[in-house]
Amino acid sequence: MNATLETRILEELSAIDVEEAYRDMLDDRYEEARIGYLTFSPSRIVEELDPTAFRCGLSDYADSNSDSWFELDGEYYDWDKVKEIRNEIVRELEDEDYDLEQEIEDLTGEEEPDTEEINKLSKRRQEILAEIKELESEI
């Protein structure tokens, strides 16, 4: 994975609490159980009375959300937000590439072009383009 993208995800996004999201889904989908004056949430009933079923359901729930969640180091993040960060990084790199291209053109137009500087800038452009390609192929 691209190091810049990974760093930005970890710095800018909060991991999804998969267990809490699963509990919320159970509680939204099923009605509370009432016994006398006591009320129990569906998630609490399943988690406490059949922890194995809760864990299996949790695993299935996480798998079923693979289209909307992005996994990084065992944590899940909102896929759309990850794509937004990726797109921001690509735009920043494209802006840097454009600036380098302009700088190379300016140096090339001089009477005595600094070929060492042009080569250095050209190499950086190649690195940028490779990074953009890597980012676009990852997600």
Q: Do both 71 and 87 map to the same domain?
A: no
Domain that holds residue 24: 14-78
Residues 109 and 74 in one domain: no
Q: What is the pLDDT along the chain (139 residues), one digit of tens a residue?
A: 899 999 999 999 999 999 999 999 999 999 999 999 999 999 999 999 999 999 999 999 999 998 999 999 989 999 999 999 999 999 999 999 999 999 999 999 998 999 999 999 999 999 999 999 999 997 7
65 in any annotated domain:
yes
pTM attached to this predicted model: 0.78
Beta strands in the chain (DSSP E): 33-35, 38-40, 69-72, 75-78
Q: What is the CA radius of gyration of the chain?
A: 25
pLDDT attached to residue 66: 85
Same structural domain, 74 and 93: no
